[in-house]
Structure formats: structure tokens, C-alpha cells
Amino acid sequence: MREAEIRRLLVANLLRALSIVLAAVVPAFFLDGFSVLGTHLTWLCVCSVCVAALNVILHLVLKPSQSPKRSSFAHKISRFLKCCIYFFMSCILFHAIIVLYGAPLIESVTETFLFAVLLSTFTTLQCLCLLGPNIQAWIRVFSKNGAMSIWESSLQMTSVCSILGAWFGAFPIPLDWDRPWQVWPISCSLGATFGYMAGLIIAPLWIHWNRKQLTYKSR
């Protein structure tokens, strides 16, 4: 396994983590009263847009899954539209799952949906950038020993860490601590964000330490 490819992955992941930090700091210079807790919905929008934009840019620059076949302009447009539809469907699906896990059905609809958008940005968008709108490839990557590259291994870890972080973030909500960050969905979205950032850092380090045992085979 080439060290240069691992370094590219590490740099890309660090840039993704940096975009989240900047999304929490930079808007305060332009928006009065902006803060992650005080204006949480605004932060959800800013964070989702920043992470999504950077993921797309990194995919276009690094091209970790570039196909040897050249596709026509019409095919690229069709692929882009499919990706948009898949991302929207992912937001709806996450919204439904979150409601089934106890989120308010009628109240706080905006908060729940924006949280679903954030989760989709951390998980589905990365799948779309790396694998495209190919459900079979998604299933393959998230099956046991299904990753065929270090980028797919990183995708596995960051997606799982994001969802686990959101799940663990729900534990403090019912406690009677009366803290501002216990308001829905602040703790869950922060948990997902910290989980995503942890996955970004852990993935290249884990791959580097286990590079001799990792053997990716084409399928």
C-alpha cells in the first residue's frame, strides 16, 4: 500500500475536520449573535453546506474513484440528478428513522429535518461522491471485508462513527440537568459531528498502522 495515498487521505480528512471548525467560528464574524448553541439551526445549515461543498471539491480534485471510461455530458447530468435525488431520499429516510427513535413527530419538524440533513451530509454524501448512485456498491462497501481501497475503508469508519455519535448524543436529552445543549437536537447533532471528526482522524491512522495486513482486491 502506497504511503502517498495514505497521506492524501489524511490531508483530505484533516481538511474536512477543519471545515467543521471553521463553520463554527467564521460565521460569528458575519452574523450577529451566531453561536453553535444559541443559533443551532443556522449552524446546522452552515456546517452541512461547508462539509458538502468541501467533499465535492475534494472528490473533483483528488478523484479517488476515477473511472477509466469516459462518460458523456448527458451521462454526467443524469448521474448528478440521481445523486441529488438519492441525497434528498436519504434526508427523508433519516428523518423518519429519527422520529421512530423518539424525536417529536409534529413539533420541531424543522430541527429534526436539518439534523437529518447533517447526518446525510456526513454519510450519504460521501457515498455519493466516492461510489456514485450505486446501491450495490454501497452494500458491498458496508459488508464485511467489502472495502476495496483506503478511501472506502475511511468511508466505513466515518459513516459508522457519525451514526454512533448521534446515537450516544441522545442519552443526555431525557436527563433533568436543564442544560441549554439538551434541547433537541443539539446534543445529537454535536454527537454526530464529534463522531464524524473522530472517524476522520482515526481512519487514516488505523489504515497506516494496519497497512501491512490490508490487502484490497478488485471484485
Tens digits of per-residue pLDDT, 114-144?
A: 999 999 999 999 999 999 999 999 999 998 7
Give alpha helix (H) positions in the chain: 3-25, 40-62, 73-100, 109-122, 124-131, 135-141, 150-169, 186-209
Question: Whole-angstrom Cα distance, residue 175 to residue 179?
Answer: 9
**Residue spans per domain, the chain:** 1-61+72-217
pLDDT of residue 178: 84
pLDDT of residue 63: 79
Quote the cell numbers at residue 139: 452494500
| Mean pLDDT of all residues in 86-111 | 94
Q: What does the buried/exposed string (b/e) look like for 26-49 if buried means 16 or more CB atoms within 10 Å of the residue's CB?
A: ebeeeeeebebeebbebbbbbbbe
- Cis (ω within 30 of 0) for the bond into 185? yes
Tens digits of per-residue pLDDT, 55-91?
A: 999 998 987 765 556 667 788 899 999 999 999 999 9
Q: CA angle, 144 as apex, 140 and 145 as ends, to 5°? A: 85
Question: Whole-angstrom Cα distance, residue 120 to residue 114?
Answer: 10
**Residue 219 clears pLDDT 50, i.e. is over it:** no
CB of 196 within 8 A of CB of 162?
yes
Tens digits of per-residue pLDDT, 12-30?
A: 999 999 999 999 999 999 9
**Residue 1 clears pLDDT 60, i.e. is over it:** no
